């Protein structure tokens, strides 16, 4: 990990902006925009920290390519039509590592709260995003969501 000297400030802010736009799209229930944050063949994976550390290739969820991401959203819309829950994504500690002129890696922490219909607010998920971002289009070539908890209820949840 490089120290604080000579980071690429413009790229840092551009990556933070991408993460912010992603979070706002989900929290505003604009789920149909979600696939467009990925490249055409972009990959999305949810894993648990426990499995990730053990090298177990058991994603909680895996989708590859915008078509599959769109299917996922279509399923959610069908299943969740009567579930008026809300989510709020907080992102923090964005670190970038430029790999080349066309790729930057990013690691960041997240915390998601879920607001139930009766108004109760719960800690829903925490963890880190490990991303590969394609330049200059600023889209996720890969977004890996590594959740701290082994407990999950993401089948009927919006993407993290």
Among 67, 90, 155, 156, binds a second copy (CB under 8 A): 90
Tell me which residue has tokens 């590592």: 97
Closest CA to 158 of 13, 19, 24: 24
Q: How far is the CB of 101 from a second copy (least distance, A)?
A: 15
Selected range binding a second copy among 22-30, 38-46, 62-70, 74-82, rule: CB under 8 A: 22-30
DSSP state of 41: E
Closest CA to 139 of 109, 98, 104: 104
Residue 153, classified by CB atoms within 10 Å of its CB into exposed (0-12), middle (13-18) or buried (19+), is exposed
Cα–Cα distance between 150 and 160 in angstroms, integer? 15
Among 43, 66, 72, 89, binds a second copy (CB under 8 A): 89
Q: Is 65 in the site for a second copy (CB under 8 A)?
A: no
Q: Is 23 in the site for a second copy (CB under 8 A)?
A: yes
Q: State both tokens at 69.
A: 């991401």
Is the Cβ of residue 62 or residue 85 nearer to a second copy in the bound state?
A: 85
Residues that bind a second copy (CB under 8 A): 1, 3-5, 7, 9-10, 12-15, 17-21, 23-24, 27, 49, 86, 88-95, 107-109, 111, 113, 115, 118-123, 125-128, 136-138, 148-151
């Amino acid at each position: 990990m490089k120290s604080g000297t000579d980071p690429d400030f413009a790229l840092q802010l551009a990556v933070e902006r991408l993460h912010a736009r992603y979070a706002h799209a989900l929290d505003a229930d604009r789920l149909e925009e979600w696939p467009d944050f990925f490249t055409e063949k972009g990959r999305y994976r949810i894993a648990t920290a426990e499995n990730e550390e053990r090298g177990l290739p058991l994603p909680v969820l895996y989708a590859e390519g915008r078509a599959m991401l769109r299917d996922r959203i279509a399923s959610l819309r069908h299943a969740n039509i009567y579930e008026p829950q809300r989510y709020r994504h907080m992102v923090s500690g964005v670190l970038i590592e430029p790999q080349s002129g066309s790729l930057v890696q990013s690691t960041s922490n997240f915390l998601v709260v879920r607001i139930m219909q009766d108004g109760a607010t719960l800690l829903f998920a925490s963890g880190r995003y490990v991303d590969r971002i394609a330049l200059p289009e600023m889209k996720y070539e890969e977004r890996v969501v590594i959740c701290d908890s082994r407990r999950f209820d993401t089948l009927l949840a919006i993407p993290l």
